[in-house]
């Protein structure tokens, strides 16, 4: 269990049965939210959905980023990256500022808007099951290996092999390998990913870097700013004093003359 885990979702293998959807609901004890799972969407009570695009089905869930925006932005550290690779949320810490929802590049975290003590909700990669040596409920339920669970390095190899061995079936890109700095959910598709509703044009650089560049400037700003302000105070005060003294001397001279 030393290696980090991940999920590989392959659109070409998905038959749209919704077993993952049901398994996730059951595992996380989530109430029914829609008559037809294909028209459901992510919500506080739905951690994964299947979206239909013509003959294809696209699974949406938390991507479990390598350097997650949600972890980096949360003021109280309610999000954390587990040893398994999963990105987990601790509702006891959360203050409910919802910055995580604003910041997630995949727009994943959802909120319990209806409650007076709301929590942020999202897929947890079945971290508890992984730690028990089991595999995530959705991967276990999937009848076709469209959702595959494993060590992340191995999954990358599997994905590469599938594309290489079957060039005609796949769009030559592994979504999630580089997106927003890479993630622990990888996706393969026969068509460009934006056609299946996956967020396109994400930078390769981890998103938290964008903030870090600004945050790094804080110590120098404080240091230089403090010295500058202190220095200015001293200088201007001295200038005023000298001016005052000069005035006094002038006055004295004038008095003398008189």
Partner 1 sequence: MKTNSLLKFTFWKIVAVIIIVAGFISTYYRFTKGLGATTNLSDLVPWGLWIGFDFLGVGLAAAGFTIAATVHIFNLHRFEPIVRPAILTAFIGYSLVVGLLVVDLGRPENFWHPLVMWNIHSVMFEITWCIICYTTVLMLEFAPVVLEKFNLKAPIKLLKKISIPIVIAGVLFSTLHQSSFGSLYLIVPGRLYPLWYSSLLPVHFYISCIAAGISMIIFESYINARAFNTGLRLNILSELAVVVVIVLAIEFILKISDLLLSGKFNYLITLNMESFLFYLEIIIGTFLPIILLGSKRNRENKGILFIGAICVICGFILNRMNVCMTGMAASSGVSYFPSFDEISITFMLVVLAMIAFNLVVQNFQVFTYTEEHVIQENGVVETKKIITSE
Binding site for partner 1 (CB under 8 A): 42-43, 69, 72-78, 93-99, 101-103, 105, 107, 110-118, 199, 201-203, 207-208, 210-215, 218, 221-222, 225-226, 229-230, 232-233, 236-237, 239-240
Long-range CB contacts for residues 47-52, cutoff 8 Å, separation at least 24: 47/121, 47/122, 47/123, 47/124, 48/20, 48/21, 48/24, 48/123, 48/138, 49/21, 50/14, 50/16, 50/18, 50/20, 50/21, 51/196, 51/197, 52/16
Q: Which does 21 bind (CB under 5 to 8 A by kind): ligand SF4, partner 1, none?
A: none
Nearer to partner 1 among residue 164 and residue 238 (C-beta): 238
Phi, psi angle pair for 65, to nearest 5°: -55, 155
Instruction: State the minimum distance, in angstroms, from the CB of residue 43 to partner 1.
Output: 7
Nearer to ligand SF4 among residue 122 and residue 162 (C-beta): 122
For residue 232, what are the CA distances in angstroms to 156, 219, 223, 239, 242? 58, 20, 14, 10, 15
Which residues here bind ligand SF4, judged by CB under 6 A? Answer: 23-24, 27-28, 47-48, 61-65, 68-70, 73-76, 78-79, 87, 94-100, 104, 106, 108-109, 120, 122-126, 136-138
Nearer to partner 1 among residue 57 and residue 79 (C-beta): 79
The candidate with the shortest Cα–Cα distance to 121, out of 222, 202, 30, is 30
Tell me the two tokens of residue 181. Answer: 């700095």
Q: Which does 70 bind (CB under 5 to 8 A by kind): partner 1, ligand SF4, none?
A: ligand SF4
Q: Which does 122 bind (CB under 5 to 8 A by kind): ligand SF4, partner 1, none?
A: ligand SF4
Nearer to partner 1 among residue 161 and residue 239 (C-beta): 239
Q: Which does 130 bind (CB under 5 to 8 A by kind): ligand SF4, partner 1, none?
A: none
| CA dihedral sign, ordered 4, 101, 69, 13 | positive
The candidate with the shortest Cα–Cα distance to 64, out of 133, 149, 154, is 149
Q: Which does 171 bind (CB under 5 to 8 A by kind): partner 1, ligand SF4, none?
A: none
Instruction: State the minimum distance, in angstroms, from the CB of residue 232 to ligand SF4.
Output: 38
Nearer to partner 1 among residue 157 and residue 216 (C-beta): 216
Nearer to partner 1 among residue 232 and residue 249 (C-beta): 232
């Amino acid at each position: 269990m030393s290696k980090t885990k991940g999920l590989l979702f392959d659109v070409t293998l998905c038959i749209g049965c919704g077993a993952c959807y049901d398994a996730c609901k059951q595992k996380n004890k989530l109430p029914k939210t829609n008559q037809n799972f294909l028209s459901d969407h992510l919500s506080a009570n739905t951690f994964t959905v299947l979206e239909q695009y013509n003959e294809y089905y696209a699974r949406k869930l938390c991507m479990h980023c390598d350097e997650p925006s949600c972890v980096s932005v949360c003021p109280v550290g309610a999000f954390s990256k587990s040893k398994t690779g999963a990105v987990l949320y601790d509702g006891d810490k959360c203050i409910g500022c919802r910055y995580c929802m604003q910041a997630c590049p995949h727009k994943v975290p959802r909120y319990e808007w209806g409650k007076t003590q709301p929590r942020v909700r999202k897929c947890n990669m079945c971290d508890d099951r992984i730690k028990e040596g089991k595999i995530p409920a959705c991967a276990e339920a999937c009848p076709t290996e469209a959702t595959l669970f494993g060590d992340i390095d191995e999954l990358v190899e599997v994905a590469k092999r599938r594309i290489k061995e079957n060039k005609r079936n796949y769009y030559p890109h592994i979504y999630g390998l580089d997106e927003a700095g890479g993630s622990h959910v990888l996706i393969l598709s026969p068509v460009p990913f934006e056609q299946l509703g996956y967020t396109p044009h994400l930078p390769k650089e981890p998103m938290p870097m964008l903030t870090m560049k600004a945050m790094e400037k804080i110590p120098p700003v404080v240091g230089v700013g403090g010295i500058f302000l202190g220095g200015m105070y001293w200088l201007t005060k001295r200038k005023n004093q000298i001016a005052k003294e000069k005035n006094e001397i002038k006055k004295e001279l004038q008095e003398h003359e008189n």
